[in-house]
Chain A
Amino acid sequence: MDSLLLNHASRLASAEGGEHTVTIAGVGVYLGVVLIAMFIYLSMAKKGFGQRVFKNFVTGTFEQLYLFLENMAVNTIGSHGRKYVPMLVTFWLVIFFANLVGLFFPLTPTAVVGFNLGMALIVFGYVQYEGARANGVLGHISHFAGPKLPGVLAVLITPIIFCIELVSELMKNVSLTLRLYGNIHGGHQAVEAINHLTEKFYIAAGEFLLPIKLLTVLVQAMIFCLLTCVYLGLVTGHHDDHEHGDGHGEAAHA
């Protein structure tokens, strides 16, 4: 567990003699930030909305991305999901560019547990905040206790449901963190293993995995946003689609 949390970045830092050394993951963060800034700058409409803006490739791509995420939010959360789109776009850009850096470097921010855990904690806290705002603090807590049961059953079963729901709520953190970490870090491990197979012939055959890693990059960024949507939808959409009665359906038990 120790090595899992510390990872290569800090080992590299301690190998280079100090806590404050620049690590590859740190450089990856800065590279990702620069790429995001460039992308955002290029996709801004500079001189009004003319024919030129919409035929520009970068602007068009960004619009597609926005529409995709908005569609996802509205489909998953409901009609009030549109206000979460800025957060989703931010998460998508951060994860996508951090993963993209990882295609060309042996280490990226998203292949470090701490970075992913930070993002997962942001999502977790925001979900709790939104749930408390939509249903009230007591309503949000009682939402964990499941449906109202009659008589003795309420005393017997409701505490058990409450504990299980609480654990599954906490597991959301773990699942978000480990999914992203495992996919990106696992991709690196697979590349290293395949390189090791063909190193006698001086061929870096692991780079033939690049297309499938590109797919992983896209899908992981999407899944993170999608699960954020699902979690937000579970806590905020409780009152207006109560007749479905699956406030904590199968998607909650990650």
Chain B
Amino acid sequence: MGIIGLGIAAMGVAIGLGLIGYGAMTGMSRQPEAIGKLQTAMIIALAFVELVFLLTVFVGISSAK
């Protein structure tokens, strides 16, 4: 059961990360001079999405025990 939950969490986070990457790539190709700013914002967003997954993992581990 925990493994299934982990899979669902990973799926959601993967979709989120893909959307962020898609948006950043599109923006970068449209406006190559804004690459620096876009990268910074993209990495902040990536960090926040990643954190959700990590929190899921920790909550899952500590509630499974």
Residues in chain A within 8 A of chain B (CB atoms) = 1, 3-4, 72, 75-76, 175, 178-179, 182-183, 186, 219, 222-223, 226-227, 230, 251, 254
CB-based contact A178/B62 at 8 Å:
no
| Chain A facing B: main interface SS | helix
Q: With CB as the reference atom, state the residue of chain B lying closest to A72.
A: B40
**Chain B 32-65 interface 0/1 with A at a Cβ cutoff of 8 Å (1 = within):** 0000010010011001101100110110011001
CB-based contact A219/B43 at 8 Å:
yes
- Residues from chain A with a CB closer than 8 A to the CB of B44 are 223, 226-227, 230, 251
CB-based contact B47/A223 at 8 Å:
yes
- Assuming the A-B contacts A1-B62, A4-B62, A72-B40, are A227 and B57 also in contact, with contact meaning beta carbons closer than 8 angstroms in the complex? no
CB-based contact B54/A179 at 8 Å:
yes
Taken together as a complex, chains A and B put the C-alpha atoms of A76 and B51 apart, in Å, by 21
Return B12 CB to nearest CB of chain A, in Å. Answer: 16
**A-B pairs with CB below 8 Å: how many?**
42
CB-based contact B65/A179 at 8 Å:
no
CB-based contact A226/B50 at 8 Å:
no
Taken together as a complex, chains A and B put the C-alpha atoms of A221 and B54 apart, in Å, by 17
Which B residues between 4 and 53 are near A, CB-CB below 8 angstroms?
Answer: 37, 40, 43-44, 47-48, 50-51
CB-based contact B58/A222 at 8 Å:
no
Q: With CB as the reference atom, state the residue of chain A lying closest to B50.
A: A179
Taken together as a complex, chains A and B put the C-alpha atoms of A181 and B54 apart, in Å, by 9
- Assuming the A-B contacts A75-B40, A226-B44, A230-B44, are A4 and B51 also in contact, with contact meaning beta carbons closer than 8 angstroms in the complex? no
CB-based contact A178/B51 at 8 Å:
yes
Taken together as a complex, chains A and B put the C-alpha atoms of A235 and B58 apart, in Å, by 30
CB-based contact B47/A227 at 8 Å:
yes
Indicate the member of B54, B57, B58 with the most A CB atoms within 10 Å.
B54
A-B contact pairs, 25 of them (CB 8 A): A1-B62, A3-B65, A4-B58, A4-B61, A4-B62, A75-B40, A76-B40, A178-B55, A179-B47, A179-B50, A179-B51, A179-B54, A182-B50, A182-B54, A182-B58, A183-B50, A219-B43, A223-B43, A226-B43, A226-B44, A226-B47, A227-B44, A230-B44, A251-B44, A254-B51
- Residues from chain A with a CB closer than 8 A to the CB of B65 are 3
Q: With CB as the reference atom, state the residue of chain B lying closest to A182.
A: B54
CB-based contact A178/B58 at 8 Å:
yes
Return A224 CB to nearest CB of chain B, in Å. Answer: 9
Taken together as a complex, chains A and B put the C-alpha atoms of A230 and B48 apart, in Å, by 13
Return A98 CB to nearest CB of chain B, in Å. Answer: 18
Return B24 CB to nearest CB of chain A, in Å. Answer: 14
Q: With CB as the reference atom, state the residue of chain B lying closest to A220.
A: B47
- Residues from chain A with a CB closer than 8 A to the CB of B55 are 178
